[in-house]
Amino acid sequence: MAFKIASSPHVSTNSLTSSVMLKVALCLIPGIVAQSYFFGFGTLIQLMLAISTAYIAESLMVKLRSRAVLPVLKDNSALVTASLLAVAIPPLAPWWIVVIGTLFAIVMVKHMYGGLGHNLFNPAMAAYVLLLISFPVQMTSWVAPQTIALNQADMLTSLLAIFYESAEFAGNYFQLNVDAVAMATPLDTLKNDLAMGLTTDESLQRPIFDAGVGQGWFWVNLMYLLGGLMLLKLKVIRWQIPTALLSSLMLCVGVGFVLYPDTHASPWLQLFSGGTMLAAFFIATDPVSAATSPRGRLVFGAMIGVLIYVIRTFGGYPDAVAFAVLLANMCAPFIDHYIRPRAYGHRTGNSL
């Protein structure tokens, strides 16, 4: 019998980074299609802007680091980062919003830390937080879903709104009615209504809600859930982080909804609104900035779920996904240090 001797790591499959990233990008397609259907061509325009900017920035940074450009571009990591940021930005936000965000994600968050595999934070979420804090008006001017909007944006109108008009114009033209300043997301609408003294049931009577969920947003999240299940099927991601994130969020929301139904959203609304499913399967599962051990991934995902609930309920931002992910990214090394499996024979404390 012949034995093959080789050094670690010992892997049974040849999963190249480019292949993994390409699968992630492909599994985003159902959600992108749904988002484009409900919110117009602006989503696709932002996507093209982000991808173009990402590849240009990646090329320049790799060149400055005296490395071969083509192999780095082929790893598809810039494609995934740009795609995640683009779908998180309002469809008719000014063009410079997605350009600034993508440049920050690629140059500052990724390459300033040493490139792929060395970044502490998720680049797309770090860029999203930068944009949200710096340009709150543009980043909260969402359009009404096509099921209730008075005006539908064709490709030409979307291009004009993004490149030649302000985000205020985009919000006013494609909103639900002419009295509103900008179209808020379902979570933002609910938070504002609760702040004005309305109950949850009273807020859910607004046209943006249907059967207890946000119009359009439910289907978008459902498609990202479908894409996430495809990632699990393809074994691109592990089950621990999505399961722990969604379970902890559902548990917290469920308890709050049972105890305070007049001021808390239902688990159904929380799970299928904002970027919940996108975060659970595509953002929090980033192998670089997340915890690595199986138990560590459970703790990491549960932490994000709890943070999403806490910030959504008691914080000033209705969709807390980006902040929750970044806070958990900061804790990932700590989680890995204390929860990683110990080597056989490892002894804690002083030896006798």
Which DSSP category does 28 fall into?
A: T
Q: Is the peptide bond before 9 cis (omega within 30 degrees of 0)?
A: yes
Residue where a domain terminates, one of 135, 161, 180: 180
Nearest-Å Rg of the Cα atoms of the chain is: 21
Co-location of 292 and 311 in the same domain: yes
Q: Quick one: residue 289, left, alpha or beta (phi over 0 = left, psi -120 to 50 = alpha)?
A: alpha
**153 and 284, same domain (yes or no):** no
Looking only at Cα atoms, what is the longest distance across the chain?
81
Of 130, 147, 180, which one is at a domain's C-terminal end? 180
Residues 192 and 131 in one domain: no
pLDDT on residue 347:
57
Q: Give the CA angle between residues 144, 252, 212 to the nearest 5°.
A: 35
**97 and 127 co-located in one domain:** yes
Q: Pick from 154, 180, 206: which residue ends a domain?
A: 180
Q: Distance of CA 118 to CAs 26, 109, 306, Å?
A: 24, 10, 26
Distances (CA, A) of 211 to 136, 186, 208: 29, 13, 10
Give the other-Cβ count within 10 Å of 340's Cβ: 14
CA angle 167–28–111, rounded 5-degree value:
75
Q: Is the domain of 259 the same as that of 334?
A: yes
Q: Is residue 172 part of a domain?
A: yes
d(CA 115, CA 126): 15
Is 5 a domain residue? no
Query: Which range marks the domain in which residue 250 is found?
Result: 184-340
In a domain, 124, yes or no: yes
3-class state of residue 213 by DSSP: strand
**Identity of the amino acid at 92:** L
Q: What is the pLDDT of residue 15?
A: 53
The tally of domains found in the chain comes to 2
SS3 322: helix
Same domain, 196 and 303: yes
Q: How many CB atoms lie within 10 A of CB 206?
A: 18
Which pLDDT value is given to residue 233?
Answer: 94
Mean pLDDT per 10-residue interval, the chain, length 352 residues: 46 65 94 93 94 94 87 88 94 93 94 82 93 89 78 78 64 43 72 86 86 88 96 93 95 92 88 92 90 90 94 85 92 83 56 42
Residues in the chain: 352
My answer on whether 102 and 194 are in the same domain is: no
* Beta carbons of 241 and 250 less than 8 angstroms apart: no
Let me know if residue 115 belongs to a domain. Answer: yes
DSSP H stretches of helix in the chain: 17-27, 29-39, 42-64, 69-73, 77-88, 95-103, 123-134, 136-139, 155-163, 167-173, 186-195, 200-203, 217-233, 240-259, 267-271, 276-278, 294-314, 321-339
* Count of Cβ atoms closer than 10 Å to residue 136 Cβ: 11
Whether residue 293 lies inside any domain: the answer is: yes
- The answer to whether residue 213 sits within a structural domain is yes
Does residue 4 belong to any structural domain of this protein?
no
> Looking at the domain assignment, is residue 41 inside a domain?
yes
Give the whole-angstrom CA distance, residue 246 versus residue 279: 10
Question: What is the C-alpha to C-alpha distance for residues 70 and 85, in angstroms, rounded to an integer?
Answer: 23
Q: Do 282 and 308 reside in the same domain of the chain?
A: yes
Closest residue by Cα to residue 274 from 322, 325, 217, 313: 217
Same domain, 31 and 118: yes
Q: 29 with 47, same domain?
A: yes
Question: Can you give the pLDDT at residue 178?
Answer: 33
